[in-house]
Structure 1
Amino acid sequence: MSTPEIEVEVVTAKPRVQQVSRSHLSLELGHLYMEDLLRGPKALREHFAMIKPWADFAIARHSGSGRVSTCFLVDEYFSRIRSPAELIPELIEAAAEAGIVIDYLARESGCAQTGEISPAALVMARIVSVPPQGTNGLRPSAHETGWLTNSEGMSRAGGVEQAMAALRPWSPPKENGVRSHSICMDVQLWDAPDGVRRWSCAFLAAVWQLLRLGLLRHEGRSIVTPAPWHGRHPDHWSELPPVIKLSERAHPFYAFRTMTVLETRFAQVEAAVRTILGQVAVDPAVSALTARQAASQGIDLPDDLVQRISHVFSDGV
């Protein structure tokens, strides 16, 4: 009697992608450097008074059935001069004086590392550099160099010219996908001055946008969950969660679209953010889930990631 052959097929289970609740809009009420925050309560009051008309406009556009959540990002990645125990009450009070409610407060270092997970490293792994037309692949990738470009002819790989070789004629750079005239940009994503990778401000700002859009996952799960905080704030930023919920009545932290209100001096950084996001390949499962979620709520969501983010630049004039 022969033994029947048994075929065993091993199926590797893919992690289920977690769906997150979303507001229609995540409105960022400024992104100040730590040196700006050193200027004290008066400067904070001036800041919130300046952005108040823009915040009111954005919220009014979504009045009725629209959901808007507000957030504020503190730069304590590059410097931690002021403690949260000092700064957070000043922020809340200055915003309230202008009639503004901060729903969520985030730490910029949380964009670099959250527990055992690095949101920045997750995004870096999803950078897909746009190959310039006609290139031969000699230029190292952004993963090797820490530099990302949107153009042909920029960030060229170095090499030693032969002593008697003819000089190569100058040729201008050309933006990838240019329509009429090029606007070329090289963006530094990270460096390692002490042998440890240090993410750039522009790259962390791009990670911050992806966090607000709810498009980052680790093994299928969302990597940041806003946590309520009651009582006195700690003396050290590392003792706070990456994102804390300040308002009990806040709409969801994640949103289908983002708007960021900034002073004009941040325009160059935000242009770099848009360049970076234009070369990020979001997990297709997350993209599909988000699209279905938007469609079920009657929300027109652009396929292009960069079109989901907007900026308002103002110096109060």
Structure 2
Amino acid sequence: MTESVFRESMAEPRTQAVPLAHLSLEVGHLYMEDFEAGPGRLRAHFAETRLWADAARAAASRRIGDRRPRISTCFLVDDYFTRFSTPAELLPVVLGEAEKAGLRIDYLARESGCAADGRTDPAESVAHRLVESPPPGSYGARPPVGQTGWLSNGQRTPSAARSALSGAPGWQPPQETAARNHSVFMDVELWSEREGRRLWSCPLLAAVWQLARLGLLRHLGEPVLTPQPWTGGSFPRDWDHLPPLLRLNDSAAPFSAYRTCTLLPNRFLPVEDAVRLILDQTDVDAGALRQVAERSASEGVPVPAGVAQRSTYVFYEEPPDFCLAEGT
């Protein structure tokens, strides 16, 4: 006799699919100091970015063969750590300088939307999905990431060495869990506390941003950071009145994509190294992973199993006249 099995439909929320391009190409992720430097700073950035954007497009075309690649561009504004000017004053300058360089920005995002988008808290959600990889021989002396706010790729140096008389070893070096010949140890701060509230770090917010661009960010099965159409006209005078993610081009390819390519000044390299560490230890929504894997394979462009491996970067050298005093 065959037994019927009944389940509550809400017990297993359906993972909603999102449209996917072949490549999400980020043509800017600048801080407010960059904008404060004036239009010349943006002009130099987009002139350099245009060269590498053309190369990224060519690489995407080669990967998919004779078909026309679906490529969307995006730009991220830092309105989370500091706020400079207003959307009404700043964004027309950004879009105008990009257009002069021959770049069209399809999607524009606010970094604060990676912390909270008005409906969900993406950074909090990703932080809860972190699964640390305990190094061999670890004994649990280090508190979990949920308590410390620090995530590493191995075993840090013990905080205090006991005396030689106790029989314990003295100083010990940190050790990378998956080291090849030698360790490259990283310890990344994910948040700090400021005035009683949690301030998310740039690497964690950038990891949220990468997951959204890869079509892998979900909350109860629903996509997070979905683009809102911009009907034109003047931008608001308050950043909080601007949607977290705008679609500026109605004919653009989808925002999310099988792969991402990010074009940045080389001062961002340490942050993006930390982003990859976070992605490697994030328990990404299984339904979203399955959808992307199946759809990319059906198109003949399968994605790597590791989420971090789906993201590529171009780090370029800034002209000396535009290097910032900090972070260069």
TM-score range, shorter chain: over 0.9
Structural mapping, 1:164-179, within 5 Å: 168-179=169-180
1: CA distance, partners of 2:149 / 2:11: 34
Give the structure 2 partner of residue 138 of structure 1: 141
TM-aligned CA deviation for residue 60 of structure 1: 2.5
Give the structure 2 partner of residue 4 of structure 1: none
TM-aligned CA deviation for residue 153 of structure 1: 2.6
Structural mapping, 1:58-73, within 5 Å: 58-63=56-61, 64-73=67-76
Secondary structure (helix, strand or coil) at the match of 2:197 reads coil
2: CA distance, partners of 1:8 / 1:188: 46
Distance 1:166 1:193, change over 3 A: farther
TM-aligned CA deviation for residue 13 of structure 1: 3.0
Residue 40 of structure 2, aligned match among 23, 35, 42: 42
1: CA distance, partners of 2:308 / 2:221: 23
Q: Bigger CA drift: 90-99 or 55-64?
A: 55-64
1: CA distance, partners of 2:83 / 2:176: 38
2: CA distance, partners of 1:178 / 1:233: 49
Q: Find out whether 1:302 has 2:300 as its counterpart.
A: no
1: CA distance, partners of 2:313 / 2:39: 25
Task: Assess if the C-alpha contact under 8 Å between 1:106 and 1:243 holds in 2.
Answer: yes
TM-aligned CA deviation for residue 175 of structure 1: 0.5
Ranges in structure 2 where 5+ consecutive residues have no aligned partner: 62-66, 320-328
Task: Assess if the C-alpha contact under 8 Å between 1:84 and 1:237 holds in 2.
Answer: yes
TM-aligned CA deviation for residue 167 of structure 1: 7.4
Aligned length: 309
Give the structure 2 partner of residue 226 of structure 1: 227
Give the structure 2 partner of residue 184 of structure 1: 185
Q: Which amino acid in structure 2 is aligned with residue 89 of structure 1?
A: P
Q: Which amino acid in structure 1 is aligned with residue 296 of structure 2?
A: A
1: CA distance, partners of 2:226 / 2:173: 46
User: What do residues 286-307 of structure 1 show as CA deviations (whole Å, max 9, x unaligned)?
Assistant: 2112111112222121001111
Give the structure 2 partner of residue 26 of structure 1: 24
2: CA distance, partners of 1:278 / 1:160: 30
Q: Which amino acid in structure 2 is aligned with residue 265 of structure 1?
A: R
Q: State the Cα RMSD in Å.
A: 2.1
Structural mapping, 1:148-167, within 5 Å: 148-154=151-157, 156=158
Give the structure 1 partner of residue 322 of structure 2: none
Give the structure 2 partner of residue 288 of structure 1: 290
Task: Assess if the C-alpha contact under 8 Å between 1:51 and 1:316 holds in 2.
Answer: no
TM-aligned CA deviation for residue 85 of structure 1: 0.5
Give the structure 2 partner of residue 82 of structure 1: 85
Distance 1:89 1:138, change over 3 A: same
Distance 1:171 1:248, change over 3 A: same
TM-aligned CA deviation for residue 161 of structure 1: 6.3
Structural mapping, 1:214-293, within 5 Å: 214-229=215-230, 230-293=232-295
1: CA distance, partners of 2:235 / 2:21: 27
Structural mapping, 1:123-134, within 5 Å: 123-134=126-137
TM-aligned CA deviation for residue 45 of structure 1: 0.7
Secondary structure (helix, strand or coil) at the match of 1:275 reads helix
Give the structure 2 partner of residue 99 of structure 1: 102
2: CA distance, partners of 1:120 / 1:114: 10
Identical columns (%): 49
Secondary structure (helix, strand or coil) at the match of 1:62 reads helix
2: CA distance, partners of 1:9 / 1:268: 50
Give the structure 1 partner of residue 64 of structure 2: none
Q: TM-score, normalised by structure 2?
A: 0.89
